[in-house]
Structure 1
Amino acid sequence: MKHAGACRQNRSMLSDEQEGLMIRRRIGMSLIAAAFACAAGTAFADYGTDRALIEDLQARYLFALDFGDPEAYANTFAPDGILDFGWGEIKGREAIAKFVADGRKRIEEARAKTPPGQRPSVGRHAIHNIVVKIDGDKARSVAYWSHMTSGPDGRGGVDFFGHYEDELVKVNGEWLFARRRIYNEAVPEWASQYGVNPVTTPSPPPKYRAPSGQR
């Protein structure tokens, strides 16, 4: 009887040890799962924050372009950033700012020639279908753009459209364009290649076409 009681006691002690081990294992697995969930949540939150900053950059770029603000436009690029839309690569903030300033001058000259009783033409860009892939402090983005122009009566419509292919870099916590390539479906040399998805396959640079005053 004593032997039987000792056996029961040993089994009870063993059962308690096994139960304790199972509890510790469950706690350990729960902690590991929580750690993975926390890491995944942090990564998702970081992507969301970076994407929001990149979309904000893309919007500020267009406001600066449409309202003729050379400094704000140039400051969306990294100091050694490159703009390429078919007039050859425009490198660095100073050259990029000059490009916008020259464009603003041409627009102001055209607006000054508006006949009496008519409203000066106004252009506005929009960006949509934005795809962003982020890898640390670098990113790649592809997006559609469209352009609307108003007529003499103030009404307007879409006259140009295309897509952007961007290389971005994060500098001191700020996302900037390292390179922006602009493709325009209205200009054969600057159009995209049909059948080649720019989201999965980067496009070759837009072909050079001299400005109208140089052709």
Structure 2
Amino acid sequence: MKYPPTYAQDRAEIEDLMARYLMAMDYNDFDTYAETFTEDGTLDYATGVITGRENIRAESKAFKERVGSMWRDVDGNPALLRHVLCHSVIRVDGDDAWHTGFWFEMDNGGPKNDKDRKTILMGTYGIYEDQLKRVDGEWKFFYRNIRNEFLPGRESVKENPVWNVDKGVLPFRG
């Protein structure tokens, strides 16, 4: 793979965006979460496809409320969910970029937890399939597809997902 001269800077900025996205979701900062998307960005995830920053803001808050009512720790509090992005492949072409990376989520509660003790559990996992755009000098998600390996119809592709990033293919599942 040949990288443009600005690749290291672009990659650092994109990785920072991804970290801010995950921290915002895990810490219920819905404004920051929504700001990681372009104004007309799309979030494609387990419960639907949402387009537009304001719609994403509202949906992220509603999603966290639903999760908080379903997953509880042993004391009856909403479980703490923490998401981790492991490895990422990023392709940059000018003001456009493509990304895929493996994510997983840990929590301290939920229906699978031993109710007699507090434990950290590996919850869900999958891959992200992203198209990003640089807007006013900042990288934003234009399209984020969250693939969940454990949900029928939401699994990742069967071939190496890096191939689609290298080709700049969107949508990743065609």
- TM (norm. structure 1) is 0.68
Rounded to whole Å, the distance in 1 between the matches of 2:118 and 2:77 is 6
| Contact residue 121 and residue 154 of structure 1 kept, 8 A | no
For the residue of structure 2 that corresponds to 1:155, the secondary structure is coil
Rounded to whole Å, the distance in 2 between the matches of 1:150 and 1:103 is 18
Residue of structure 1 equivalent to 2:55: 95
Distance 1:73 1:52, change over 3 A: same
Counterpart residue type for residue 154 of structure 1: K
Name the structure where strand makes up a greater proportion of residues: 2
Q: 1:204, CA displacement in angstroms?
A: 1.1
Greater RCO, CA 8 A, separation 6+: 2
Q: 1:193, CA displacement in angstroms?
A: 2.8
Larger radius of gyration between Structure 1 and Structure 2: 1
Alignment of 1:124 with 2:86, yes or no, is no
For the residue of structure 2 that corresponds to 1:200, the secondary structure is helix
Residue of structure 1 equivalent to 2:142: 178
Listed as ranges, the gaps of 5+ residues in structure 1 are: 1-42, 206-215
For the residue of structure 2 that corresponds to 1:140, the secondary structure is strand
Q: Give 1:110-149 correspondences, 5 Å limit.
A: 117=75, 120-149=78-107
Counterpart residue type for residue 156 of structure 2: S
Residue of structure 2 equivalent to 1:198: 161
Residue of structure 1 equivalent to 2:153: 189
Rounded to whole Å, the distance in 1 between the matches of 2:42 and 2:53 is 8
Q: 1:198, CA displacement in angstroms?
A: 1.2
Residue of structure 1 equivalent to 2:112: none
Q: 1:47, CA displacement in angstroms?
A: 1.0
Alignment of 1:59 with 2:19, yes or no, is yes
Pairwise CA RMSD of aligned residues?
2.4
Aligned length: 161
| Contact residue 148 and residue 156 of structure 1 kept, 8 A | yes
Rounded to whole Å, the distance in 2 between the matches of 1:102 and 1:119 is 17
Listed as ranges, the gaps of 5+ residues in structure 2 are: 110-114
| Contact residue 148 and residue 155 of structure 2 kept, 8 A | yes
- TM (norm. structure 2) is 0.83
Alignment of 1:47 with 2:19, yes or no, is no
**Percent identical across equivalent pairs?**
38
Q: 1:114, CA displacement in angstroms?
A: 6.0
- CA deviation string 1:134-168 (max 9, x = no partner): 00011001100001111353321212110001000
